[in-house]
Chains A and B, each alone.
Chain A
Amino acid sequence: MSRWTRTADPAADAGWKNAPPRKGFFTDSSICIGCKACEVACKEWNGIPEDGLEMLGMSYDNTGSLGASTWRHVAFIEQPRRAVAASGLTPLPVVAARPGENRSFDGAETGIRWLMSSDVCKHCTNAACLDVCPTGSLMRTEFGTVVVQDDICNGCGYCIPACPFGVIDRRQGPPGTRNVGIAQKCTLCYDRLGDGMTPACAQACPTQSIQYGDLDELRVRAQHRVDALHAAGVADAQLYGADPNDGIGGAGAFFLLLDEPEVYGLPPDPVVTTRDLPAMWRTAAIAGATLLAGAAVAFVRARS
């Protein structure tokens, strides 16, 4: 299997020897209270500028989407009473009941459910942004996460259309804004991880809707949670991005949702946009090898 398509251990694949277990986020939207502490803690830690003072009218969401200056974004979805009742959806996000316990309140007559979920870069196992970056700015860390190195990025923007989730973007802002023109996105707080700390968003999250840890362990925890919700009658609870066999090889940051991904503004079946690159590369390989020799000579000459 080509390195381009499927990998189980992205850190080792990127040359990290004795890498720590892969780290990630499990964002459990069933216990998200929509407080946006994650958005603020992220901006505060990472020095991200304020990026818009406009009311959007998307329920309580005035952030809109992820972007160069928004690395956490809480979506708010109001599902009106009539639609919820008619669809047979679980009317309210209920926390799991103990087996055999009767959660008698169906809430149907109160009639609205308000979904909230904190979105973030997925830190894909097969990350297209990384694949297309020509400068080496985008990097796979020893934790298996994907980061932008802003001292390398030249703002070419190839990564922007490559991302199947629309996460990454070049920063815009008035003069004086840090890193304007540079591609930016969540780093899973790479600097904090290196010091054994929890990423800022997960550290702040009041209800532990955002959980940080070893990805393997988070996936097990998430499956238990989904099973518990199903047992409690929340039939539409589902994991998103937790499957290593999906189009991105599984996400390093995955989610428990209470409705279909589209409802939250997430693509239902994301695919790494560089899926077809291996075939293309085989064709280009011969030409590449030829160029390499010439490039080596040129580099040494130019520097001396």
Chain B
Amino acid sequence: MAECHPVGFQWVMEAKDRGATVIHIDPRFTRTSAMADLYVPLRAGSDIAFLGGIINYILSGEKYFREYVVSYTNAATIISEDFQDADQLDGFFSGFDPKTGTYDTTSWAYEGMETAAAAGSRAVAGRQPPAQAGGGGDELGGRGAALPHSEVRRDESLEDPFCVFQILKRHYARYTPEMVERICGVPPDQFAKVCEAVTANSGRERTTSWVYSVGWTQHSVGVQYIRGAAIIQLLLGNMGRPGGGILALRGHASIQGSTDIPTLFDLLPGYLPMPKAGVHGSLDDYLTSIKSDRQKGFWTAADTYVVSLLKAWWGDAATPENDFGFGWLPRINADHSNYQTIVDMLDGKVEGYFLLGQNPAVGSANGKMQRLAMSRLQWLVVRDLNLIESATFWKDGPEIATGEMRTEDIATEVFFLPAAAHTEKDGTFTQTQRLLQWHHKAVEPSGDCRSELHFFYHLGRMLRERLETSALDRDLPLRQLVWEYPLLQGDEPDAEAVLREINGCHLSGEKAGQLLNSFVEMKADGSTAGGCWIYTGVYSDGVNQSARRKPGSEQSWVAPEWGWAWPMNRRILYNRASADPAGRPWSERKAYVWWDEAAGKWTGHDVPDFQATKAPTFRPEPGIGGPDGLAGDDPFIMQSDGKGWLYAPSGLLDGPLPVHYEPIESPLRNAMHTQQSNPTREMFPRTENLSSPSPPDLGAEVFPYVVTTYRLTEHHTAGGMSRWSPYLAELQPEFFCEVSPELAAERGLEHLGWATIVTARTAIEARVLVTDRLTPLTVGGRVIHQIGLPYHWGVGGGGAIVSGDSANDLMGVSLDPNVHIQESKAAACDIQPGRRPTGAALPRFVEAYRQRAGLSVDTGTTRITPPGDGT
């Protein structure tokens, strides 16, 4: 956090000054470690074992927050007797289909709900995302999956052998401190300190928070890493409370915003799933699938969100008779995420590609595959501040140097359009705590620089002009599209008008034309419009709330009048849980939101994330769904049973509970199960994307070391906003690798010399930084060396101040099945002293490694690991 979010880290330093304990768990010792009370190095890719060990410590040592767990989580809920756990099936849960590599999740369901889950659990086609009730994986951005109803059987004594609590206990019983040491390389005494600190600092009086970034997400089991932390936080009562939570530190100014209003293939604004071919034919089909009227919580109003979105997009053309234009939405039927697109691009299926402030030639895994793919496009549009590598690959890419590509042979037509900077346009960023903050335009962009708002508005205008008289059905959605925005200086669309459309308004009735104040005002009858329901309220009272800048010093510590947080300006989600079931703060020290009996409403420091006047004692009539179905002690109001899910009965594709799997490229055999890696991982076996072998397969010794990537304070991601800046470039001018003195001795690496790092994909060179901040770990009786690589550099032929090889060129593409994120935080490599070969010698050098390791396209693609240890 000190490395990549230094200004956010001021609050950690302040907490520390007030007595907080800071623990840093990371393969390498960073600036964060330097400030931590305890630094715990662990093997990259082993975190679920570590988190599972903590869960086991909490459960076996009776350290959980019982009242919170019983009242606010699904610990008491009874699971189907058909469910079989990974420890019973040697690394698999019940329902695995070896032919498709997917799970039928029927048996994971809550007791009595097995049928409903089964209906949606089959894959649409091959290894495609299943059309689960309510969708799966990434489509569930803000909630658990839908349930057919919320009448669950609970045993609040937590004794029933099929209740979640007992399943959890059995599931994690094998995650002992000894197992943690064997998998993670963390000694038991050090591990005990973490367990003691985390549990001692949780409960009524204290809270613990977990902070993560892509070190947790970029794994073939990344989603389950976060789930592991979620289980800990729910068991310890740390959700919905100040100083608690699981905090995703996001790396870009509006990466949160770009998931809320998604530039993502499987989502519509507000975490509504994209409709699927053959499943969501009509609006009714769609709504039935994403929610049930008998489940609890606010997802039952999804019809109002969807219809308001369709009205925002298609206006008067969206009518009840035509399903509000629902049929005009394009359908997905497979993984259309970026890596699948790249593979399709390699095969010539993609003609045109827009890059909008992103540099995949450096920033995406397997850079060579990215560049080869782009060389097979017909046309490419790059919009950026600088001439990044993705714009110049045809001229100066590493493959030009090796002869694997020739400029004269590349047919790709490239348009580079300079972008406007943040000072040259109005708009909102949504930062890492869901806060929308408006930035005002300071100056006009110079030359041809334009905002994306300008580019896309005018592109849309041109396309509409071209198709004005088209009679084709396919052109109707564009021709009917609401695409009228006031133009300001330089024909720049008015960003406030766009934000007002996102906020939504009344279309008819006495309030026609007025902006919506809250998403609860949305209607499913077409009388309201709103482009993203979770952002409704950003323009409440007709005021751009995101532009509020009341100084922090003039308001409470929650600072509710600075910017605007979705939903409804709530700064901590699920904050009903900051009070006990009776509505009293768990402790005075941690008071945040509570029930005011006299006033008959919830009150506190934040906007209560609960129905304002629903008493804690309220109990709904059985069978009532929606917000009215929430009991007064159901704090998780977006969950279909109102509870925090220790166990996910549906929605995840690789298991209801996190289980330790080895990274796809690992030096070690899985100590937990026969099954080596996540059997449901998404793979792209092809010559451009080879994997190296892991035990029990032979040949792993050719790539004996673990390599991981990360960022430095001085640079920004793929370097497009830092390598072109002299002041930043001079602070970290060269690409380097970090190695321990022990590894340096083992391989003859010299400090400040050069090293060549090789994986199954390619070889790159880096300057050597020998440092005690990297430490060899003893894992499973073996010494494991880890190599650290910051990934900011590239060829930089388009005017970058500094250049170097790209760390991401080393990484392969295999994905977490839930969210299609690649495993690029743990891979297998070799390292040798000296510079890498150049020209045609480089591919030959890599080929020799492949042959020694016996690599083929099939290496590392075995879904079901045969028994044996490979030795």
Contact = CB atoms under 8 A, between A and B. Distances in A.
A and B touch in their complex, CB below 8 angstroms: yes
Interface of A: 31, 33-37, 39-40, 43-44, 49-55, 57, 59-60, 62-63, 78, 80-81, 92-98, 101, 103, 105, 107, 109-114, 116, 206-208
B772 A78 contact: yes
B31 A34 contact: yes
Given A35-B713, A40-B727, A206 B21 contact: no
A50 B37 contact: no
B193 interface: yes
Contact of A53 (B16, B189, B729, B767): B729
Contacts of A110: 29, 33, 38-41, 190
Contact of B34 (A51, A52, A93, A206): A93
B194 to A, nearest CB: 10
B802 interface: yes
Contacts of B249: none
Nearest to B751: A57
Nearest to B770: A57
A114 B769 CA distance: 15
A95 B38 contact: no
B35 interface: yes
Given A50-B727, A50-B729, A50-B801, A207 B10 contact: yes
6 contacts: A33-B6, A36-B713, A37-B6, A52-B730, A95-B35, A105-B193
Contacts of A107: 37-39
A40 B9 contact: no
B462 interface: no
Contacts of A43: 727
Interface residues of B, number: 49
B714 interface: yes
B752 A62 contact: no
B681 to A, nearest CB: 33
A28 B145 CA distance: 50
A107 B190 CA distance: 10
A93 B772 CA distance: 17
B603 interface: no
B772 A111 contact: yes
A80 B7 CA distance: 28
A110 B771 CA distance: 14
In this complex, the member of A81, A94, A95, A96 whose beta carbon has the largest number of chain B beta carbons within 10 angstroms is A95
A282 to B, nearest CB: 48
Interface of B: 2, 6-7, 9-10, 13, 16-17, 19, 21, 29, 31, 33-41, 187, 189-190, 193, 712-714, 726-734, 736, 741, 751-752, 767, 769, 771-773, 775, 801-802
Contact of B733 (A55, A81, A113, A206): A55
A150 B773 CA distance: 43
- Closest 3 A/B residue pairs (Cβ): A50-B726, A114-B34, A55-B734
A151 to B, nearest CB: 25
Contacts of A105: 21, 37-38, 193
Contacts of A60: 712, 732
A98 B19 CA distance: 7
A269 to B, nearest CB: 28
Nearest to B32: A33
Contacts of A49: 726
Contacts of A54: 733-734
Contacts of A93: 34-35
Contacts of B13: 31, 33, 95, 207
A74 to B, nearest CB: 9
Contacts of B38: 105, 107, 110
Nearest to A109: B190
A40 B728 CA distance: 7
A286 B16 CA distance: 62
Contacts of B773: 78, 112, 114
A96 B13 CA distance: 11
A162 B626 CA distance: 78
B714 to A, nearest CB: 6
In this complex, the member of A35, A44, A109 whose beta carbon has the largest number of chain B beta carbons within 10 angstroms is A35
Contacts of A35: 2, 6, 31, 713
A92 B10 CA distance: 18
A111 B712 CA distance: 22
Nearest to B33: A114
B40 A62 contact: no
Nearest to B39: A110
B771 A113 contact: no
B752 A55 contact: yes
B801 A92 contact: no
A255 B37 CA distance: 23
B17 A40 contact: no
B730 A116 contact: no
Contacts of B193: 105
A90 B70 CA distance: 44
B808 to A, nearest CB: 20
A113 B730 contact: no
A29 to B, nearest CB: 11
B19 A97 contact: yes
B189 to A, nearest CB: 8
A113 B37 CA distance: 11
B6 A55 contact: no
Nearest to A49: B726
A51 B35 contact: no
A107 B33 CA distance: 11
Contact of A111 (B9, B729, B775): B775
A52 B733 CA distance: 9
Contacts of B190: 109-110
Nearest to A41: B727
B21 A50 contact: no
Contact of B17 (A36, A96, A113): A96
A207 B40 contact: no
B733 A112 contact: no
B733 A44 contact: no
B713 A34 contact: yes
A52 B731 CA distance: 9
Nearest to B773: A112
Contacts of B734: 53-55
Given A50-B726, A55-B736, A207-B13, A33 B771 contact: no
B14 to A, nearest CB: 9
B19 A101 contact: yes
A57 B769 contact: yes
B733 A62 contact: yes
A108 B713 CA distance: 26
B730 A51 contact: yes
Contacts of B730: 50-53, 62-63
Contacts of B731: 36, 39-40, 62-63
Contacts of B40: 110
A176 to B, nearest CB: 14
Contact of A103 (B2, B35, B37, B772): B37
In this complex, the member of B713, B772, B775 whose beta carbon has the largest number of chain A beta carbons within 10 angstroms is B772
A93 B33 CA distance: 10
Nearest to B38: A105
A33 B802 contact: no
A36 B38 CA distance: 24
A57 B771 CA distance: 10
Contacts of B19: 97-98, 101
Nearest to B24: A110
A117 to B, nearest CB: 12
Contacts of B801: 50, 53
A39 B729 CA distance: 12
A62 B33 CA distance: 20
Contacts of A112: 29, 772-773
A33 B9 contact: yes
A102 to B, nearest CB: 11
A105 B752 CA distance: 34
Given A34-B31, A35-B2, A44-B727, A59 B771 contact: yes
A111 B39 CA distance: 9
A251 B2 CA distance: 29
A38 to B, nearest CB: 11
